Chains A and B, each alone.
Chain A
Amino acid sequence: MGRYVVRRLLQMVPVFIGTTFLIFVMVYAVGDPVNAMFGERAPDPATAAQLRAEFNLDKPVWQQYVLYMGKIFTGDFGNAFNGQPVTELMGTAFPITIRLAVLAIVFEILIGLTLGVLTGLRRGRPVDSGVLMFTLVVISVPTFVTGSLAQYLLGVKWGWIAPAVSPAAPANELLLPALVLALVSLAYVTRLTRTSLAENARADYVRTAIAKGLSRRRVTVRHLLRNSLIPVVTFLGTDVGSLMAGALVTERIFNIQGVGFQLWQGIVRQNSPTVVGFVTILVIVFLLANLLVDLLYAVLDPRIRYV
């Protein structure tokens, strides 16, 4: 197991370098940040040259990349073009987005698992077909549509909640955005649990457990459910990527000033250090989540052995 972890971590290194370099090239090679800073006016050549030197923009892209990465590993993400350290922006943005994502995952687990178990144990009944139709519809409606509709109905028409979230974004104001964010994944969790339960219900070990005279409840909870949850747990890990994407959209709709908001500000103002810094962190999170999934597989399912 230890060797496997080390090998996977080593494999992650080239992928991390490749991915971040791709993003770096896109942001720095395609746009010209210095021109963007001056807006409509043509920049004074001397000032422009000074700025380029200050932000290493006069060097070739690969050299800029190496310098940038070197700094990142000392915790220095550089300054945004207005002089504010990027880490400061991250300090305010990340806690809000993490709060949103954690709430969404809680919704996924609570509602998704409940619905999945409910339908998985009652295959073919009206409850089953009903929930299945529901998941199909939920998967089909894009997050930004659900969000806009929820905002219109609950926030504007019926006035149950404030249509926008306040800058501090306390947890109770994030409940609705988190539910909107969770919906699509929640439907996938439901379907996965249902399929997995139904598949395992015919397994030999379940029949053995019943034959031993165990109560129905014990067979379901200790034998069937435990084994059926393996794919669900790993799904939650791979889902981090789509949660990220969803968070960008949800934050936009409900005006939450988290990572998506800062990233958007960075892009609109062509503030390259902000954009590259935030995206780098998000890519690391995504890669680590994928690694965690692979490791969870080995831990949860003893039949899988890695050397």
Chain B
Amino acid sequence: MTGTPAIEGPDETAALAGAETEVERAEGRGPRSPGREPGERGQKGRSLWSDAWHDLRRNPVFLLAGLLIAFLVLISLWPGLIASQDPLSCRLGRSLDPSSAGHWFGFDTQGCDVYTRVVHGARTSVTVGVCATLGVAVLGSLLGGLAGFFGGMWDAILSRVTDVFFGIPIVLGGLVFLSMTGSRSIWTVVSFIVLLGWPQVARIARGSVITAKQNDYVLAARALGAGTVRMMVRHILPNAIAPVIVTATIALGTYISLEATLSYLGVGLQPPTVSWGADISAASQGMQFRNAPHILLYPAAALSLTVLAFIMLGDAVRDALDPKLR
């Protein structure tokens, strides 16, 4: 029975909690990356992180995703670089005009320049994605980590609270909660995503902290008289953070898609904020795209490409950080 796959609980990623030793990592990487130079592994202090970075730099998926994301971040910071017009200056007279010189993507129903709006929409999506992910990661790993670290009553209470918030499907919750709020800014949507998104990370963090806590070196540290804070920060955190990072990176793409979905359903961002989801929603209203498909296709393509870039990034990071997949 040796070599039988380990029995895993529902959250598989928890198993990658950095608990694996150097030996296990070396064994696990056998079939899929034969191209490693001999002797390289013999170097001292090669952590999971330097291994992961080594793999990432050679992963074409990561490089492609990185390039796309770098571009997205650039135009989010300075949309003026490639779109000189104002996304809010629209003239009804040009409503639904097809593409022309200077206006490559044509005009939408309100007579706004679609190209300018597509470029300016990037900032919204990237901001929502990054901020929501940071919020979810911090809140989730804090609550989940504390539950896992202290165990007992704290764990029981925090786990039930996690379950309560986990019990509300996020789009359903958005439809109910966000429709009750009068005016919604980017921050309303971000707070909402954090409010209902943190349990996902909390569960992973709890599992991985429990795994890390049982390691011998943690016991050793305690025996040497390390205090609670030192144990958490120096010993458990570095060994339990990998699964959280993987989950958060993958979630980033889905949060961008979620914001667009909420805006599409009419409970997300409102004008004057430029959002791809809201623009697609406007294009679908009464099937206005019937005669002017460009008002649907360009924002849809931009949105999909952005989500694709972040999902590819998440995929690559997971492959690099999860030794089981090697």
> Do A and B interact with each other, yes or no?
yes
Q: For residues 202 through 249 of chain A, which have their beta carbon under 8 Å from a beta carbon of chain B?
A: 203-205, 231, 234, 241-242, 244-245, 248-249
CA distance A110 to B114 in the complex (A): 39
Cβ of B1 and Cβ of A204 under 8 Å apart? yes
Contact B296 A152 (CB under 8 A): yes
> What would 18 A/B residue contacts be, using CB atoms closer than 8 Å?
A23-B168, A27-B180, A30-B180, A136-B308, A137-B308, A140-B257, A140-B307, A142-B307, A148-B284, A149-B300, A152-B290, A156-B287, A231-B12, A244-B172, A263-B175, A282-B169, A283-B168, A304-B7
B177 beta carbon closer than 8 Å to chain A: yes
Residues of A within 8 Å of B, CB-based: how many? 60
Q: Is A267 an interface residue (CB 8 A)?
A: yes
Stretch at the interface among A46-54, A95-103, A175-183, A286-294: A286-294
| Interface of B toward A, CB cutoff 8 Å | 1-5, 7, 10, 12, 160-161, 163-165, 167-173, 175-177, 179-181, 253, 257, 260-261, 264-265, 277, 280, 283-284, 287, 289-290, 293, 296, 300, 303-305, 307-308, 311-312, 315, 325
**Quick check: which of A13-21, A56-64, A76-84 contacts chain B, the rest being far away?**
A13-21
Docked complex Cα distance between A156 and B286 (Å): 12
Give the distance in Å from the alpha carbon of A287 to the alpha carbon of B161 in the complex. 14
Does A87 count as interface, using CB distance less than 8 angstroms?
no
A248 touches B315 (CB 8 A): no
Give the nearest-CB partner of A259 in chain B: B172
Q: Which of A27, A148, A163, A204 contacts B300 (CB 8 A)?
A: A148
The residues of A with any CB-CB pair to B shorter than 8 Å are 11, 14-16, 18-19, 22-23, 26-27, 30-31, 136-137, 139-145, 148-149, 151-152, 156-157, 163, 195, 199-200, 203-205, 231, 234, 241-242, 244-245, 248-249, 252-253, 263-264, 267-268, 275, 279, 282-283, 286-287, 293-294, 297, 301, 303-304
Establish whether residues B7 and A303, one from each chain, have CB atoms under 8 Å apart when the complex forms.
Answer: yes
Kindly state the separation between the CA atoms of A241 and B174 in the bound complex, as whole angstroms. Answer: 13
6 tightest A-B CB contacts, nearest first: A245-B171, A18-B164, A140-B308, A19-B167, A30-B180, A241-B169
In the bound assembly, the distance between CA atoms of A98 and B194 in angstroms comes to 30
How many Å lie between the Cα of A279 and that of B180 in the bound state? 15
- Shortest CB-to-CB span from B20 to chain A, Å, is 16
